[in-house]
Structure 1
Amino acid sequence: MATETEMKLSLSARAASQLRRHVLLSGVPSQRQLLINTYYDTPDCRLRSERLIVRYRQQGGDWLLGVKTAAQLSGGLAERQEWECPGRPGEFDFSHVDQSAVRDLLESLRDQLQPAFVTRFQRHAWLLEPRAGVRIELALDCGTIEASGRRQPIREVELELLSGAVGDLFDLAVALQASLPLHPEARSKSDRAYRLMLDTPMTAAKALPVAIDASLASISAFRRIALSCVNQLQSNEQGILATDAPEFAHQARVAIRRLRSAIRVWQRHLPAPFVARFDPLWQELARRLGGVRNWDVFLADTAPLLSAAFADRAEDQAKVESLFRYARRRCTSNRRAARAAFKSATYSRLLLDFSAALQALPEAKRGSLGDFVPAWLDKCTQRVNQRAAEAQQGGDEARHRLRLAFKQLRYALEFFSPIFAGPVLQNFHQSLTALQEQLGHQNDLAVAMQLVVEALPGRRAEGVHGWLAVQSEALLPELEMLLEAFRRQDAPWSAPSS
């Protein structure tokens, strides 16, 4: 068994041509070959569900049977296990797989395996040795994915680490990106091929659980969680660029909020320059998405309520119709700005630079999750209780601050949830979720009031603004009940799992 560590970067046709003449490749001999890869799976795609890949690769007159574990890409980086041996297409001998659980599964499925899809591409490869002890294969792949009678282009750079450290991969990627528009890839060739084969519609990617435990080193846990957030963000890129569906922008924004919350949780464990450099950059990207989200929510949720409320009042109905037209224009312009941000070299650099900085974070000499999680969650809860008291005496701004405090507590609890067990965690999380949703509704109404003033300047906004304020006030009794229920919850971190 070998561990494959590689980075995938997408690029344009023009950039692919420029890469071949790049100064870093000057004088380095290259190899060119046609690679034809046939991937196999069962009719019900069992291998995909088990996150395994089986393929035959044709290289000239040779055939290689390959087995890989499927890895998520975060910032373009993937690390996975790989087994290869010579073979003949259609014949499956898995005796070379030295991990018994994987081998037993493959052998049990052997008779069900059938061709699923093909990738066919020209590979230009260069072996680079940027410093003593470091060897990296740089491969430029250009070709197609062929599945279910459909095709999709392949144009990407693969950097495979043959010897050296992961940081060496990032050093090379950053050096290349300085003069070429390279973007860290979010999906592997096989993942894209499955989507093509199954004609799977794009769906917004939500946050996935991260495997951590109380004994894990603090920085290692942060790295896993941060990379998971980056993966969620990148998994929503194409939906933002190719569709107007609001959920993609929403989940991308959630990914950034979760990432920034993680930075807050670990701030005293992180180098100050790391926080000072990256937190403002993520905040700016979230701001770009915030405009899209605000107008999306207004059109989808608030606008129908306004239309119904003012249906019998001709003068106010005219205002509402004018408001809708303005909202649609703003929604379009904000979505255009968000797409420009996601297409920019600035975003591509942020993904790569942040992922590189994550890998370079020094491990703390001491300190595991179990050392600081309870104290941090206690601090979050104290902040929530303080802001809850302020919100009960204040207005929209105080409730907004309370919502942010609840959100930070909820994200932190989700990060650490594998450490805790039992119904106490579930009840606490449900109470948090209910409060965050309630405060979210009130925040949507508060934002809607601001948007109405923007769209209908002067006294034109009075009737609509006043109606929205009444709706917000009507939610306050339920907020009081939810806060009281939350105060009665036991803290799940007071009894960590064994």
Structure 2
Amino acid sequence: MNREIELKLECEPDVLNRVSQSPVLSRLKRGRASARTLRSVYFDTEDFSLMKSGLALRVREGGGKRIQTLKTESEGGGLASDRGEWEVQLERNEEGPNLNRLPASIKARIRQAANGAPIAARLVSDIHRIARQLTTPDGDEIELAIDRGVLRANGREAQVSEVELELRRGDPASLYRLALELADMVPLRIGLRSKAERGLTLAGDGKVEAIRAEAVAFERDVTVEAAYAAILRHCLSHFLLNEAVAVESGSSEALHQMRVALRRMRSAFAAFGKPVADASAKQLSREAKWLATAIGRARDFDVFIATIVAPVLRERPDDKGLVALCDAAEKARKRAWAGARAALRSARMSSFVLRLALYIDERGWRDDEEANVSRLEAPLSALAPKILDRQLKRAAKLGRHIGDLEIAERHELRKRLKQLRYTLGFFSSLYRRADTRRYLHALAELQDVFGALNDVEAAHKLTEELTALEPILAESGRHILAHHERRARKEWQSALKLWDEFRDVEPFWR
């Protein structure tokens, strides 16, 4: 078995020529480029049970050879995939995959995943590949492959336009450094989905859905440093897995999940600020905030149309003023989405993602002169209560006079509670579920109400913006806001009650 460590970068087809002519490649190249045409057939059950079990089985034809490859799921957890890989050259009379050429343990795993279902060809990729061997100044050896082609499955097609960086020998961090150099010159995006995974989408209904964050689970003895790295990696993966869904399909939920991922990421930077306390984390947090703001406007208009305008319009479908306001909001939403896509396709976004990945993999926090190694290597279970106490104290201080809070103060309390909830999500696996359930439920209920109140406040700003452009819409705007203000007053009374209930719940970490 070999291990394949690879970083995938996606781009528009016309960008690939610029990559191949990059001064970076001229400086690092070793020998001449090679060009090949590759046809790969991926085999699976009808419902893709192998892929769903983390297995990719293919037979690739090229250069007069037929190579069978079995890849397992990535184990690295970072942007660069780190997969087990078994390759064997097939004889001419072996038309399909030959499972007998695989180790017994892998063969058994395939049969268990298939569960008796027939394994057949499900996806075909036709790729023209230009590969170059590179050597970095530190001696790391990397194969850079430029892939153009098409995927075909279930009568559907998808274009392939990728740059793959595969580590042949050396430090995996060299992949990120090379990708950063390339991304500074040409617009590249991080790709988390393999060709086989993209084929799974094609073979299904062709749609990809938003992905919610899974719980972060730790052993009781996990160190502060290991937990910090795992949480950041988890947040980054959550963000990137939703990026393609948001950009390609315009999914409002996927865009929301991206904002959630960025907020969780910034909460992690804040929570670990004292034991880590490095300048890189502060800069990365600022970039995460920039990106959240850049995509946030589109999400705000999504919510405005769906939860503020639409309910009133359903009650008065023939109101021409409301219809006109909805049309104006939809036009503004499209402009906001164009801005969000531009930010997500920008060099700044790619640089942020790669720098964060490099920061995690290289433990960049240790580069800081003030890094406290003893704190980093201490158990998280000892630090978690202190972090949670500090965040609860910040929220409680502002909520002490909750009935007298101004709008801006309510918004700040909401942000502090949200940060507490995200941090609780990071640490809750250290405690018994029975102990955490009641507290998290009370906090979630409180946050839901604050979220609804925030939507109404955001509606004021967006309505003012729309009516400033088209004053004729002002009356309809006032009607909509009056409708939701009545609801907001009831919601605020509910928030006051829920705050009292939340205060009475004993923090489970003490």
TM-score (ref. length: structure 1): 0.89
| Contact map agreement 1:390 1:398 (CA 8 A) in 2 | no
1:14 is aligned to 2:27: no
Deviations for 1:434-456, whole angstroms, at most 9, x for unmatched residues?
11111111111122233333344
Q: What letter is aligned with 1:157?
A: V
Q: What letter is aligned with 1:470?
A: R
| Contact map agreement 1:294 1:447 (CA 8 A) in 2 | yes
Once residues 240 and 358 of structure 1 are traced to their aligned partners in structure 2, the CA distance between those partners, rounded to angstroms, is 25
1:147-186 equivalence runs, <5 A: 147-186=153-192
* Aligned match of 2:353: 351
Q: What letter is aligned with 1:161?
A: L
Once residues 306 and 436 of structure 1 are traced to their aligned partners in structure 2, the CA distance between those partners, rounded to angstroms, is 24
Q: CA deviation at 1:407?
A: 0.8
Once residues 307 and 21 of structure 1 are traced to their aligned partners in structure 2, the CA distance between those partners, rounded to angstroms, is 55
Q: CA deviation at 1:122?
A: 2.0
* Aligned match of 2:370: none
Aligned match of 2:392 in 376, 381, 391? 381
Q: CA deviation at 1:304?
A: 3.3
Give the direction of change, closer, same or farther, for the CA distance of 1:367–1:238 in structure 2 (3 Å limit). Answer: same
TM-score (ref. length: structure 2): 0.87
Aligned match of 2:485 in 469, 473, 476? 469
Give the match's secondary structure for 1:475: helix
* Aligned match of 1:422: 433
Listed as ranges, the gaps of 5+ residues in structure 1 are none
Q: CA deviation at 1:475?
A: 1.5
Give the match's secondary structure for 2:88: strand
* Aligned match of 1:399: 410
Q: What letter is aligned with 2:51?
A: R
Give the direction of change, closer, same or farther, for the CA distance of 1:472–1:25 in structure 2 (3 Å limit). Answer: closer
Give the direction of change, closer, same or farther, for the CA distance of 1:95–1:218 in structure 2 (3 Å limit). Answer: farther
* Aligned match of 2:369: none
Once residues 60 and 454 of structure 1 are traced to their aligned partners in structure 2, the CA distance between those partners, rounded to angstroms, is 61
* Aligned match of 1:411: 422
Give the match's secondary structure for 1:207: coil
* Aligned match of 1:105: 109
Once residues 388 and 485 of structure 1 are traced to their aligned partners in structure 2, the CA distance between those partners, rounded to angstroms, is 13
Once residues 54 and 449 of structure 1 are traced to their aligned partners in structure 2, the CA distance between those partners, rounded to angstroms, is 54
Q: What letter is aligned with 2:109?
A: L
Once residues 38 and 507 of structure 2 are traced to their aligned partners in structure 1, the CA distance between those partners, rounded to angstroms, is 56
Aligned match of 1:292 in 292, 298, 303? 298
1:253-272 equivalence runs, <5 A: 253-272=259-278
1:448 is aligned to 2:459: yes
Two-structure CA RMSD over aligned residues (Å): 2.7
User: Which of 437-446 and 37-46 deviates more?
Assistant: 37-46
Once residues 80 and 133 of structure 2 are traced to their aligned partners in structure 1, the CA distance between those partners, rounded to angstroms, is 19
Q: How many residues align?
A: 488
Deviations for 1:472-497, whole angstroms, at most 9, x for unmatched residues?
11112322332233223333334xxx
Give the match's secondary structure for 1:13: coil
| Contact map agreement 2:294 2:339 (CA 8 A) in 1 | yes
Q: What letter is aligned with 2:125?
A: T
* Aligned match of 1:197: 203
Aligned match of 2:507 in 474, 491, 496? 491
* Aligned match of 2:344: 342
Q: What letter is aligned with 1:381?
A: L
Give the direction of change, closer, same or farther, for the CA distance of 1:114–1:423 in structure 2 (3 Å limit). Answer: same
Q: CA deviation at 1:65?
A: 2.4
Give the direction of change, closer, same or farther, for the CA distance of 1:156–1:433 in structure 2 (3 Å limit). Answer: same
* Aligned match of 2:447: 436
Once residues 320 and 73 of structure 1 are traced to their aligned partners in structure 2, the CA distance between those partners, rounded to angstroms, is 52
User: Which of 190-199 and 465-474 deviates more?
Assistant: 465-474
| Contact map agreement 2:442 2:498 (CA 8 A) in 1 | yes
* Aligned match of 1:85: 88
Give the direction of change, closer, same or farther, for the CA distance of 1:70–1:33 in structure 2 (3 Å limit). Answer: same
Give the match's secondary structure for 1:236: helix
Give the match's secondary structure for 1:120: strand
Give the match's secondary structure for 2:401: helix
| Contact map agreement 2:267 2:423 (CA 8 A) in 1 | yes
| Contact map agreement 2:295 2:343 (CA 8 A) in 1 | no
User: Which of 471-480 and 156-165 deviates more?
Assistant: 471-480
Give the direction of change, closer, same or farther, for the CA distance of 1:103–1:373 in structure 2 (3 Å limit). Answer: farther
Deviations for 1:103-131, whole angstroms, at most 9, x for unmatched residues?
42224449632212122212222221113
Once residues 411 and 326 of structure 1 are traced to their aligned partners in structure 2, the CA distance between those partners, rounded to angstroms, is 35
| Contact map agreement 1:374 1:493 (CA 8 A) in 2 | yes
Once residues 485 and 477 of structure 1 are traced to their aligned partners in structure 2, the CA distance between those partners, rounded to angstroms, is 13
1:61 is aligned to 2:72: no
Q: CA deviation at 1:464?
A: 5.1
Listed as ranges, the gaps of 5+ residues in structure 2 are 367-372
Q: CA deviation at 1:462?
A: 5.7
| Contact map agreement 1:73 1:187 (CA 8 A) in 2 | no
Deviations for 1:212-267, whole angstroms, at most 9, x for unmatched residues?
33322323322222222222222222333334442222122111111111111122
Once residues 65 and 186 of structure 2 are traced to their aligned partners in structure 1, the CA distance between those partners, rounded to angstroms, is 34
Once residues 242 and 93 of structure 1 are traced to their aligned partners in structure 2, the CA distance between those partners, rounded to angstroms, is 36
Once residues 428 and 404 of structure 1 are traced to their aligned partners in structure 2, the CA distance between those partners, rounded to angstroms, is 18
Give the direction of change, closer, same or farther, for the CA distance of 1:474–1:166 in structure 2 (3 Å limit). Answer: same
Q: What letter is aligned with 1:355?
A: A
Once residues 224 and 338 of structure 1 are traced to their aligned partners in structure 2, the CA distance between those partners, rounded to angstroms, is 27
Deviations for 1:181-227, whole angstroms, at most 9, x for unmatched residues?
22211321111111011123122222123343332232332222222
1:226-305 equivalence runs, <5 A: 226-305=232-311
| Contact map agreement 2:143 2:168 (CA 8 A) in 1 | yes
Once residues 190 and 450 of structure 2 are traced to their aligned partners in structure 1, the CA distance between those partners, rounded to angstroms, is 36
Give the match's secondary structure for 1:81: strand
Once residues 300 and 172 of structure 2 are traced to their aligned partners in structure 1, the CA distance between those partners, rounded to angstroms, is 39
Once residues 242 and 372 of structure 1 are traced to their aligned partners in structure 2, the CA distance between those partners, rounded to angstroms, is 41
